[in-house]
Every structure is written in structure tokens, then in C-alpha cells.
Amino acid sequence: MRYRLLSALIISAVAVVEAAPAAAATYDYIVVGSGPGGGPLAADLARAGYSTLLIEAGGDEGDNPTYSEIAYFNEAANDEATRWDFWVKHYDDPEEDRKFAHTTWDTGDGTFYVGLDPPEGAKYLGIQYPRAAVLGGCAMHNAAVCSLPAEDDWNIIVNKTGDTSWSASNMRQYLKKIERNQYLPPGDPNRGYDGWLATSVGPTDWARNNSNPATTILKKLAALTGQDETRAADLLGSDILTEIPNLDETSSFYNLAQHADNTGKRNSPNNYVRATLADPAKYPLTLKLHTLVTRVLFDESTVGVEGVEPRAIGVEIMEGQSLYKADPKHRGQTSPKSQILAAREVIVSGGAFNSPQILKLSGIGPKDELAKFNIPLVKHLPGVGENLGDNYEGSLLAMGQTPVQSGLITAVFRTPNAPDARRNIFTWCGAFSFEGFWPGFPTWHGAEQYTCALVHMQPKSQAGSVTLRSADPQDVPDINFRFFQNQGDQDLEELVEGANILREAMNAVPEPVAPFIERHPCEGDRRAEGDCGVEVQKEYFKSQAYSHHATSTCAIGGKDEEMAVLDSKFRVHGVRGLRVVDASAFPVVPGAFPSCPTMMISVKAAEDIIAERKKEEAEAKKL
């Protein structure tokens, strides 16, 4: 398969940007990155009255229908206007990586080749992991699924740090603070109705039509997951963001919630930042777009002094478009470096790939790695860039004899072989195709296509890493997820069991759709012929699993925990004036989709910072 490499709008390969160095400026807070972690945090700090600079490497596409309309999310993730291509590894073994069916190559003639038989001379790139360089971050190109982690995913931080504000019961308040619910009757005391983040759901009435073939699939899946199949249509309308006892052990259907309004308009940090910028007299927020942060600056008098913690005082930047080499429009652009100062703090919110890169370029990270690139050591923190984790994802894709007229079936359930009582599979089924990420995804297999996509939760292995390739801030780090490295057989067996349950439900579909012809994991009649058992499917998922919820590379942990990077208030251990607030802070992957949980911790971080500042101001008045 060949795909266009660059937009036709790119006419020439030019460009060293000759811009004058930016004038020095000082703000109370500098926030680096405008995604689910940084965007809401910057807006909240400005709304509390603190001068705040929000820096974003991309532009603003908030008025572009490709981004503002949820229906176009596949186009948004493919759009070169905002896309950053990280070519990642799943394994240390290159041969294992090259089994991935959507391995991508640069043909050298302006196109990508995707597949396992590249043309002669093609340059190997790897496995695409697109991120969004745009105001609002990846919340501007995702499918906007809004779900919450298991309680244990919050409580692990309590256990590590002793900070009870991270308890699952307390973290619910942050959903309420940000939410503008558009699908429940008003008055639920546990939900928000006047926040900045709209939440909505889709229709489920189709499930009451017993002649609909997909209703048969729904009922069969209900029976297979311990639900009352006679109430399947009612259960499909359940609120996925609900709070009930033993929720994490309860297999159920849900109506998929999205951070979008009830007209299909995407809601994200973009909306909140823009609303804050709209009242500059009241809210002192400044936004710098197309600005690449190259490193955090430190007060040199505090670096390397025994008994003194280094203090962050600002950032170094480069200004211009497409400066980062992950940008497919990058053509060697560079720009002079300038500095911006922070009177209070620098907060890094670049995401699970870029936050550890920025810390390392700034001298914070494993000392041996920094020494390799002659980066002066500010603070030895071996956990920076380690502990990279993600959900494992895969799908069952089959072709019916006729199109399946179906709404979306969403379920969260426990496979019988799960190691504990918690649910471990999040699935959504419908007449679509989703098989991972590559340039030009997804493949349209025809109107008869039907997919059950599945996300494996609570992955046992978080052995991945983000390491520097060089000291060049425009360079892209080396990213290796090391899939299934720890307890891999257990995770693979859970994926296979989940697939078997979904397959049995799908194959209950009646004529004229029946019989489904499976494309994967069990192609054609392999299963009927006894040639697609557990081991065969394990090998399929081992080579073809994908992911797009990277977390945990600057993980919160106790001060005596060797690989911890942050304390429970997001402060970098052993450094003053520096925090990291984004999905990299989670010690473990937070549930099935990290977007809404990351927005929640962004609000928590703002609350923590403002409380600290108020306390300092009160103490200063006493003196």
C-alpha cells in the first residue's frame, strides 16, 4: 500500500527561519504544551489571576471542521497540518517489529509504503504513532472517548505517596468540576452541568429493534458476559461515567460518552483556552503558538551546589512552524533561540514522549544517558523516560454477506482468565474498520465490514522507554514500548479470551448477514478447520497489537522510590519550580482511555498550585 507523504500545499523544501530573538519576558507561570494536561492548567492559573504563558508547538485549528466535528476524527489524525509522526518500536528485536502488517517505509519519491514487502531502496521508518501538535493537543484528533480509570489506578498514588487527595472517591470531584453534561437530567449531585467540557452520548434506540441483526450480537454478548440478555437494550443505555458500588468488577454494556456536545462538536482544552483568552482584561493568559521549547532554564547559582535544590527559572525556545522533526512538513527549518522567564514555576505538559525529552535536554534524567550527549547534569533521576506503558489494542474484523445496519455496542467486561476481579476488556463493535495506525488509516474493506475493537486494560508490563537520540531539541527520541516483556503470556491469553468471547457473539448474527467471514485474527475458515487456537491467536496479537494511550514516563512516586520522577503534587523530585502535568505522570495506564483522566489531573494540579501560592501569600503578609 502506498500513501501520500506530503501535502500538495508544500511547494518547496526551504527554510531556515531568520527571526530576530524574542525579547525577554517574565510570567508567573510558564506551561509547555496545550493538551489535556497543560491547556486546562494554564487557563485555570490565569483565571486565578496569575500571569501565565501557554506555549504550543503547533497552531490553532479550533475553527477547522476537520477538528471541530467529531465525525472527522480519522481525517484529523491523518492531517499533516498538525500531525507529528513518531516511528516507534514494539520490541527490542527488529525482526519482531517487522511482522507488524502496517509497518511503514519512506519510498523516497514522496510517498509512504505500508506493508511487509517494501519496494527496493525504501527506508524503514517503523510503526506510526501519530500525535497532535495543535492547540488542545491529542484531544483535538482523537475519537473523544471519555471514560474513567479503575479505582485502583487512582489509589496506587495514595499507596505510593500517602497523599489521600488521590483517592478514587476524591478524584470524582474533578470530573464534576470540568463536566458540562448534556445527556443526563440535571440535578445529579455527582455530575457537572456547568463546566467547560461538554459530554454527550449517541442513540441506542436501534437496540430495541429485534429484527436488527446487530441486536442479536448484542444479546449474545450479554449472555456471554453475565448480563441479562432480555435487558440488553436497557443496559446499552447505561452511563459509562456512573458511580456505583463495585463498578470495576461489573461487566456491563454502556452508552459511549464523548467529550463533545450533543450536536457532534468536539469539546477539548482548545475551547477552554480560547474562552479564557477571550477576556484578557480579566484573565492574564498569553498564548504562543508555533513555538518549540528546547530546554528548561535553571538558576545557575543553584545547580551543582551541595544541599541546594536546583531551581527552574524559565525556558529556552525556538519560534517557527514545523521545527520539530516529527512534523512531516519539516524540511530542515531552524530558528534562533531565545529565553522566557518564570517568576514562579515552569510546568511541562508535553505528553508521554516530549515531557521526558524536555527534562533530559534540560539536564534532568539518568546521568549516564545525559553524559553520552554531553548534557550538563542538573538532577540525576533515573526514572525519567522509563516505565512507558500503554494499553494493548487489537480487533476482530469480519465481512458479512450483506451490510450490518448497526449502532455502536460498547461493553466493559472481565474475561474468565483475568488475574483478579477487575474488568480487563473495553470493546466497541460496529460497522467500521479500525486496525491501528499508519499513514492513511483506516482501510475501507467495504460496506459489509464489521469490527469489534478491544482495549486490554491493566497491562502487566510497563517496560517501555523514551531515550534521546541526540542533544538536538529538534530531534525525535527513540521510543520502544517493549510489548509483553513482563507477564506477556498472561496479557496475550486475556486478549485471546476477549477475542473468543467477541467472536462467539459476532457469529450469532443471523442471515442475511451470516455467515461472517473473519479477516483477523482467524482469517477465513482457519478456526473452523481447527487452525486458530489459543497459540495461533497469541502470536497474532503479539505481532499485530497496537496502542495509542502512552503514559507514565515521568511517573508519580514516593521520594524514596528510585524510579519516581514526581511527587504527589506533580513536583519534580529534588528540583524547585518545576512540575510535569500530563499523562506521563500516571504511575500506571489509567483505564482504557487517558484523555478525560488527564484533564481531571490538570484541574487537580491547578488546585494544588493555587493552594500553595495562596498559602505562601498568606505567610508573607504575616511577616
Write the CATH number for 270: 3.50.50.60
Q: Which of 7-16, 47-56, 132-141 has the lowest mean pLDDT?
A: 7-16
CA distances from 15 to 21, 108, 185 (A): 17, 20, 55
Same domain, 299 and 413: no
Q: Which of 498, 515, 544 is the last residue of a domain?
A: 544
Same domain, 588 and 525: no
pLDDT band (50, 70, 90) for residue 17: very low
Q: Which of 494, 527, 544 is the last residue of a domain?
A: 544
Tell me how far apart the alpha carbons of residues 295 and 473 are, in angstroms, rounded to a whole number.
Answer: 8
Q: Does 454 reside within a domain?
A: yes
Whole-number pLDDT of residue 24? 67
Annotated ligand binding at 145? The verdict is yes
Q: Does 3 reside within a domain?
A: no
501: enclosing H helix or E strand:
helix 488-506
Q: Does 10 reside within a domain?
A: no
- pLDDT tens, 124-167? 999 999 999 999 999 999 999 999 999 999 999 999 999 999 99
Same domain, 218 and 359: no
Q: Does 187 reside within a domain?
A: no
Q: Does 559 reside within a domain?
A: yes
Residue at 210: amino acid letter: N
Contact 379, 574 (CB under 8 A): yes
Same domain, 403 and 517: yes
Q: How many helices (H) and strands (E) does the chain have?
A: 14, 25
- What phi and psi, each to the nearest 5 degrees, are found at residue 167? -60, 150
Q: Which domain holds residue 288?
A: 23-81+266-383+552-622
Annotated ligand binding at 267? The verdict is no
pLDDT band (50, 70, 90) for residue 19: very low
Write the CATH number for 215: 3.30.410.40
Whole-number pLDDT of residue 524? 79
Same domain, 452 and 398: yes
Q: Which grid coordinates belong to 25? A: 519576558
Q: Which of 10-19, 353-362, 552-561 has the lowest mean pLDDT?
A: 10-19
CA distances from 288 to 25, 55, 278, 293, 530 (A): 12, 5, 15, 11, 59
Going 557 to 562 to 565 to 569, the CA torsion angle's sign is: positive
Same domain, 356 and 412: no
Tell me how far apart the alpha carbons of residues 249 and 572 are, in angstroms, rounded to a whole number.
Answer: 34
Global pTM value:
0.95
What's the total number of domains in the chain?
A: 2
Contact 223, 413 (CB under 8 A): no
Same domain, 417 and 501: yes
Same domain, 374 and 397: no
Question: Residue 219 class from Cβ within 10 Å (0-12 exposed, 13-18 middle, 19+ buried)?
Answer: buried
Q: Does 111 reside within a domain?
A: no
Question: By C-alpha distance, which of 455, 543, 363, 452 is closest to 145?
Answer: 455
Same domain, 539 and 416: yes
Same domain, 289 and 251: no
Question: Does residue 9 carry a pLDDT above 50?
Answer: no
219: enclosing H helix or E strand:
helix 213-224
- Per-residue exposure over 542-559, b if at least 16 CB sit within 10 Å of its own CB, e if not: bbbbbbbbbbbbbbbbbe
Annotated ligand binding at 14? The verdict is no
Q: Does 230 reside within a domain?
A: yes
Annotated ligand binding at 293? The verdict is yes
Same domain, 250 and 399: yes
Q: What is the mean pLDDT of the chain?
A: 94
In the block, cell 527554510 appears at: 15
- pLDDT tens, 209-247? 999 999 999 999 999 999 999 999 999 999 999 999 999
Contact 363, 563 (CB under 8 A): no
Whole-number pLDDT of residue 621? 86
Q: Kindly give the pairing relationship between strand 197-201 and strand 578-580.
A: unpaired
Question: Does residue 18 carry a pLDDT above 50?
Answer: no
CB atoms closer than 10 angstroms to residue 62: 17
Same domain, 520 and 379: no
Q: Does 194 reside within a domain?
A: no
**Those residues with Cβ within 8 angstroms of residue 582's Cβ, 6 or more apart along the chain or in another chain:** 33, 35, 36, 37, 38, 348, 349, 350, 351, 352, 355, 598, 602
